[in-house]
Chain A
Amino acid sequence: MEKNMKKYFPVFVLPTFVAFTVVFLIPFVLGIYLSFTEFTTVESATWVGLENYIKAFTQDENFKNALWFTIKFTFVSVITINVISFFLALLLTKALKGTNFFRTVFFMPNLIGGIVLGYIWNLLINSILGVFGFDITYDADFGFWGLVFLLNWQLIGYMMVIYIAGLQNIPKELNEAAMIDGASPFSVLKNITVPMVMPAVTICLFLTLTNSFKLFDQNLALTGGAPARETSMLALDIYNTFYGRIGWQGVGQAKAVVFFLIVAIIAFVQLKITGRKEVEQ
């Protein structure tokens, strides 16, 4: 059969692979090359070695600021989103009334696009702060917590349905066996439930980590980086470097490479660590 199929490569693989090569592979390789050059268009690149990387870390306060802001933001969001969504999943798997309704409501924000989400929360936060005579651009802390609330609102439902699926996969007999063995509800949670949902935890941590770290649309719409770029996250900072500072495209590309490396390392390390804790079934 394989022999019959081989000559069909152009039909089955080529369309996808050409698109993939043109919009991803070539731009990726070219992007790495351009990060070592100074350029205003792709054709006008001149080799400058590591200069862009040095510039990004020494002459650009915004970048370090954005990096630190992103790390803080990711840390807080990952913890809050996962704790709350796991807790909600536990409640909703307890066969309460209205489970379906609650699930529908909690999941809904996830479908709304980042830009629209950003402006919805912009209105809400400014309305609340307006009571005290502030708005969201008054202090970077407002922007920070605004983004945390926004992302929680968006992702809690998403993570919750994954946790619910994980919880429903635990065989009932396991809980019953533990109860016959005399385990308290807390001990069941700690010794049975949590280890058994580790695969779901791995997935949710991975998704929240990468989603928080790569956040762009919501950041742009909610604060746009204000005040004074203090609430710019990495993705927005890179975007601003590319399209906001003439002559700095090379630095923007170098930042993008650093950004990629950080995301790749986080993804790799996180999957290694939590992957080890999963229970083989």
Chain B
Amino acid sequence: MASIELKNIRKTYEDGVTVIDNMNLEIKDKEFIILVGPSGCGKSTTLRMIAGLEEISGGELYIGDKLVNNVSPKDRDIAMVFQSYALYPHMSVYKNMAFGLKNRKVPKEEIDKKVKAAANMLDIEEYLHRKPRALSGGQRQRVALGRAMVREPAVFLLDEPLSNLDAKLRTEMRSRISMLHKELETTFVYVTHDQTEAMTMGDRIVVMKDGVIQQFDTPQMLYNHPKNMFVAGFIGSPQMNFIECLIQKKSENYYADFTYYSIKIPNKMNDYLKMYENKNVILGIRPEDLSIADKNDKENVMELYVDIAEMTGADYYLYGKINNEKFIANVSSNQNIESDKKYKLKIDVDRIHIFDKINERLICD
């Protein structure tokens, strides 16, 4: 049980490449934190620095109140679950789980108790005497979790633990890990490139790109109020639509104009848009904030030529193009929708996001 604090952390490799510069992050005790971002964004490096597997080139790292920059991994009171599971191939499941405790000179009976308790919790009791190679991917994953659990560490580090599993198992393991976090009441730091994992599991999420934290917030805040176009595009599936448009003021209202359409922007945003009058901005609309328009709807309606309509059961995904850019709408499937036809879509203007075209930052939403 411990908080983690990163102060001005920097990572420079021997060849002189800096992958993380001046990173600051405060993780509270017992929080479930997700580091998410595309590959190469520095999320794994950050985790490995917390673990002590990667040297810290600059700045300070605290676990609890202790400065741990020069503390070796085994003395940081952490446990880690690796993407490849990293089970010891020559040891049985039992020995894999007991190994860390044995190294810490925990009495045999206590080891036995802890291993069995963890195995019980993870449903791997019957495999305790098998070698890892005789287990399926999902079972190995649970052994890896168990190995970390028995140590009762202050901090639990997980590096893409689910990415080697198939889709169905992944969903199952997601809830298992969330449950585990509830029961263990320790700090979890979890790295993934999958935004769905991030959104469903994290108390708070760190969205990273090119070694820089883009936004650190709760899932709700990331979804509803992304701070920039990267976060807006990364969080949410399917991706947010971005349309370049011109801001114009007509009477007391602002309008966003693109192709033949003019969208009326809600008045709550007026203050933010003064500086952008007659300028181009990026309009962000989530697919799920679109719906099939009624005949009566006149305002904030646009037309989409649907190239492909995919029905998933409850919803339709409509794929088309606006301004030569891919455009997706996610509408409920009350009506029958066909490919290669035009449909009128109503935009929920209260939920639109407007971004600066140059620095891609949020102007208002």
Instruction: State A4–B73 Cα separation when bound (angstroms).
Output: 10
Instruction: State A1–B53 Cα separation when bound (angstroms).
Output: 5
Question: In residues 1-45 of chain A, which contact B (Cβ within 8 Å)?
Answer: 1-4
Give B37-81 as 1s and 0s: 1 = Cβ < 8 Å from A's Cβ atoms.
000000000000000010100000000000000001100000000
With a cutoff of 8 Å between Cβ atoms, the chain B residues found around residue A4 in the complex are: 72
With a cutoff of 8 Å between Cβ atoms, the chain A residues found around residue B55 in the complex are: 2-3
> SS class of chain A's interface: helix, strand, loop or mixed?
helix
Instruction: State A144–B72 Cα separation when bound (angstroms).
Output: 65
Please give the distance in Å from B176's CB to the nearest CB on chain A: 29
With a cutoff of 8 Å between Cβ atoms, the chain A residues found around residue B73 in the complex are: 1
Instruction: State A1–B55 Cα separation when bound (angstroms).
Output: 8
With a cutoff of 8 Å between Cβ atoms, the chain B residues found around residue A3 in the complex are: 55
Give B72-110 as 1s and 0s: 1 = Cβ < 8 Å from A's Cβ atoms.
110000000000000000000000000000000000000
With a cutoff of 8 Å between Cβ atoms, the chain B residues found around residue A1 in the complex are: 53, 73
Chain B residue with Cβ nearest A3: B55
Please give the distance in Å from B314's CB to the nearest CB on chain A: 46
With a cutoff of 8 Å between Cβ atoms, the chain A residues found around residue B72 in the complex are: 4
Question: In residues 224-281 of chain B, which contact A (Cβ within 8 Å)?
Answer: none
Instruction: State A3–B55 Cα separation when bound (angstroms).
Output: 8
Chain A residue with Cβ nearest B74: A4
Instruction: State A1–B51 Cα separation when bound (angstroms).
Output: 10
Chain A residue with Cβ nearest B70: A3
Instruction: State A157–B264 Cα separation when bound (angstroms).
Output: 86
Please give the distance in Å from B269's CB to the nearest CB on chain A: 51
Instruction: State A1–B72 Cα separation when bound (angstroms).
Output: 8
Chain B residue with Cβ nearest A4: B72
Give A74-114 as 1s and 0s: 1 = Cβ < 8 Å from B's Cβ atoms.
00000000000000000000000000000000000000000
Instruction: State A100–B53 Cα separation when bound (angstroms).
Output: 49
Please give the distance in Å from B20's CB to the nearest CB on chain A: 17
Chain B residue with Cβ nearest A1: B53
Instruction: State A84–B72 Cα separation when bound (angstroms).
Output: 59
Chain A residue with Cβ nearest B55: A3
Instruction: State A4–B71 Cα separation when bound (angstroms).
Output: 10
Instruction: State A4–B53 Cα separation when bound (angstroms).
Output: 9
With a cutoff of 8 Å between Cβ atoms, the chain A residues found around residue B53 in the complex are: 1
Instruction: State A4–B72 Cα separation when bound (angstroms).
Output: 7
Instruction: State A3–B71 Cα separation when bound (angstroms).
Output: 11
Instruction: State A2–B72 Cα separation when bound (angstroms).
Output: 11
Instruction: State A166–B72 Cα separation when bound (angstroms).
Output: 46
Chain A residue with Cβ nearest B54: A1
Instruction: State A3–B53 Cα separation when bound (angstroms).
Output: 9
Please give the distance in Å from A5's CB to the nearest CB on chain B: 11
Please give the distance in Å from A39's CB to the nearest CB on chain B: 46
Please give the distance in Å from B53's CB to the nearest CB on chain A: 6
Instruction: State A3–B73 Cα separation when bound (angstroms).
Output: 11
Please give the distance in Å from A8's CB to the nearest CB on chain B: 13
Please give the distance in Å from A112's CB to the nearest CB on chain B: 35
Instruction: State A3–B72 Cα separation when bound (angstroms).
Output: 9
Please give the distance in Å from B228's CB to the nearest CB on chain A: 35
Chain B residue with Cβ nearest A2: B55
Please give the distance in Å from A65's CB to the nearest CB on chain B: 55
Instruction: State A17–B229 Cα separation when bound (angstroms).
Output: 56
Chain A residue with Cβ nearest B72: A4
Instruction: State A1–B54 Cα separation when bound (angstroms).
Output: 7
Instruction: State A2–B48 Cα separation when bound (angstroms).
Output: 13
With a cutoff of 8 Å between Cβ atoms, the chain B residues found around residue A2 in the complex are: 55
Instruction: State A4–B75 Cα separation when bound (angstroms).
Output: 12
Instruction: State A35–B320 Cα separation when bound (angstroms).
Output: 81
Instruction: State A18–B334 Cα separation when bound (angstroms).
Output: 80
Instruction: State A3–B49 Cα separation when bound (angstroms).
Output: 13
Give B146-182 as 1s and 0s: 1 = Cβ < 8 Å from A's Cβ atoms.
0000000000000000000000000000000000000
Instruction: State A2–B55 Cα separation when bound (angstroms).
Output: 9
Instruction: State A123–B279 Cα separation when bound (angstroms).
Output: 102
Please give the distance in Å from B103's CB to the nearest CB on chain A: 15
Instruction: State A4–B55 Cα separation when bound (angstroms).
Output: 10
Instruction: State A1–B73 Cα separation when bound (angstroms).
Output: 8
Instruction: State A188–B53 Cα separation when bound (angstroms).
Output: 53
Instruction: State A2–B73 Cα separation when bound (angstroms).
Output: 12
Please give the distance in Å from A205's CB to the nearest CB on chain B: 36
Please give the distance in Å from B329's CB to the nearest CB on chain A: 47
Question: In residues 187-244 of chain A, which contact B (Cβ within 8 Å)?
Answer: none
Please give the distance in Å from A209's CB to the nearest CB on chain B: 38
Instruction: State A54–B136 Cα separation when bound (angstroms).
Output: 70
Show 5 A/B contacts (Cβ-Cβ < 8 Å), sorted by A. Answer: A1-B53, A1-B73, A2-B55, A3-B55, A4-B72
Residues of chain A at the chain B interface (Cβ within 8 Å): 1-4
Per CB-CB distance, the 5 closest pairs between chain A and chain B, nearest first, are A3-B55, A4-B72, A1-B53, A2-B55, A1-B73
